[in-house]
Amino acid sequence: MQQLSVVILAAGKGKRMASDLPKVLHAIGGKPLLAQVLATASRLDAATRVVVYGHGGETVKKAFADEPDVIWVEQAQQLGTGHAVAQALPALDAGSVVLVLYGDVPLIQAETLQPLVADARQGRLALLTVELGDPAGYGRIVRDERGRVSRIVEHKEATPSERNLREINTGILAVAADKLAGWVAELDNDNSQGEYYLTDIIALAVRDGVAVEAFTVAEPAEVQGINDRQQLAELERFYQARQAERLLANGATLLDPARVDVRGTLVTGKDVIIDVNVVFEGAVKLGDRVRIGPFCLIRDAVIGDDVEILSHCWIDSAEVGAGAHIGPFARLRPETRLAAGVHIGNFVETKKAEIGLGSKVNHLTYIGDAEIGAGVNVGAGTITCNYDGANKHKTVIEDNAFIGSNSSLVAPVRIGKNATVGAGSSVSGEVPEGVLALTRAPRKDVVHWERPVKTKS
């Protein structure tokens, strides 16, 4: 079977985006447009992925430095799609099948493209088309009296009758590399734009007796290109609607499907309930019967069964055990690991913290660089003083310890099993097992004291 080479055209400037960022680096679903297309090419098992870049090229290449197998080809002058493909041809295996995609068409699906690739492997030129109610500005598919594709005419070159055609060219096609190379070499720029149109190879294929097979995509948004912020926003909403449909089909309850955003991958268990304006980023996994309140952000996290996350919580690169209760207004920072049944309350922040079975940190507390055992109660206003201005130090609180409110634990420090730290204490060093540690200053009462009053001017 012929190998597949994918050529992605990504050299456009994107002036209408009104941005210093190259167009293909703008994001849909939390990923750059070009990343979406590269991922689709990978799902097709492409042996070669070639990106033709131009404006902002070094910035684009740098953004994809973690994909070393991508071949980058510069189109120094933007002289049309045919010219762009010509730049890529030397990087392709002459015996392969070539699929041409676009860096600003992010939602094209591998399942849509597979029939094109299969058809091209049979020696045909496979073309992806779509029917639009308003095709203004797009190249029209012109068919002969038998209904076969005979050529593509660009909008500016079309006659009035041709402009009435509703089937348009998406620009996406697949064909054998050797045929493509021969036709591209014949292209000229004798048109109103002075460009080399890749679409002109359709007429050349017909001339040479190569069958042209058109595949019509059912969903226009899948082949929608992005040229401005409005189109970017519209495709983002389409993408998120598809994510919501998938979540609902998998058994999750979305209290408003239009107000949940998935900017990565989200896997849900059974009977999950997600309230409005929740954002998922990176790779997130939710267990069975998880309940998430409104206005939460969850990134790169694993949430166990029966967890309840109340409103306005931020969970980042953390693991939450079964039956835990989080929030409201809690922040779990990277490397937080909560065991089953842990309670993290309002205005609590954790970072690089392991908190054991059934422990509670319920109010206005910072726990950083800490290891907390099972059955521990941490009172309101407690902080682990983990940073000395140069280095981080660890706090260890062993099983069933009790930390009174408004305590400062100055790391490195260890609180033994069943020990108690009295409210308002500042503790360093080690508190032995089972003892009560108090560091309050002695109380002093001043009798007959008068509160100051304002002096009259």
Question: Do 161 and 93 share a structural domain?
Answer: yes
Residues 184 and 245 in one domain: no
> Residue 233 domain-assigned?
yes
Establish whether 55 is a catalytic residue. no
Residue 139 covered by a domain: yes
End residue of a domain, out of 189, 223, 257: 223
Average pLDDT over residues 342-367: 98
Asked if residue 90 belongs to a domain, the reply is yes
Amino acid in position 326: I
Whether residue 457 lies inside any domain: the answer is no
Residue 145 has pLDDT above 90, yes or no: no
Among 55, 155, 363, 393, the active-site one is 363
Number of domains in the chain: 2
Residue 41 maps to a domain:
yes
State whether 137 and 68 are in the same domain.
Answer: yes
Q: Evaluate whether residue 312 is within a structural domain.
A: yes
Other C-beta atoms closer than 10 Å to the C-beta of 19 total: 13
Q: Say yes or no: 207 and 293 in one domain.
A: no
- Pair 284, 319: CB distance under 8 Å: no
- Mean pLDDT, the chain, rounded, equals 95
Six-digit token string for 455: 């002096």
Residue 193 lies in a domain: yes
Residue 300 is predicted with a pLDDT of 98
Six token digits for residue 294: 């409104």
Do residue 243 and residue 213 come from a single domain?
no
Strand 253-254 to 273-274 pairing? parallel
Dump pLDDT digits (tens) for 38-61: 999 999 999 999 999 987 788 999
CATH number, residue 144: 3.90.550.10
Residues 376 and 344 in one domain: yes
The answer to whether 175 touches 122, Cβ cutoff 8 Å, is no
Examine the pLDDT at 455 and tell me if it is beyond 90. Answer: no
Q: Which residues are CB-contacts of 72 (< 8 A; sequence separation ≥ 6)? A: 50, 51, 53, 57, 61
Whether 28 and 170 share a structural domain: yes
Of all residues in the chain, what percent carry a pLDDT higher than 70? Answer: 100
Do residue 185 and residue 253 come from a single domain?
no
pLDDT category, 412, cuts 50, 70, 90?
Answer: very high
Same domain, 196 and 343: no
The domain in which residue 63 lies consists of: 4-223
CATH number assigned to the domain comprising residue 402: 2.160.10.10
Tell me the per-residue pLDDT of 240-249, one tens digit each, with 9 for 90 and over: 999 999 999 9
Cα–Cα distances in angstroms (integers) from residue 293 to residues 268, 310, 350, in the given order: 15, 5, 19
Q: Please tell me the distance from the alpha carbon of residue 221 to that of residue 223, in angstroms, as a whole number.
A: 5
352 and 315 share one domain = yes
**For the segment 73-95, what is each residue's pLDDT rounded down to a tens digit?**
999 888 999 999 999 999 999 99
Average pLDDT over residues 418-422: 97
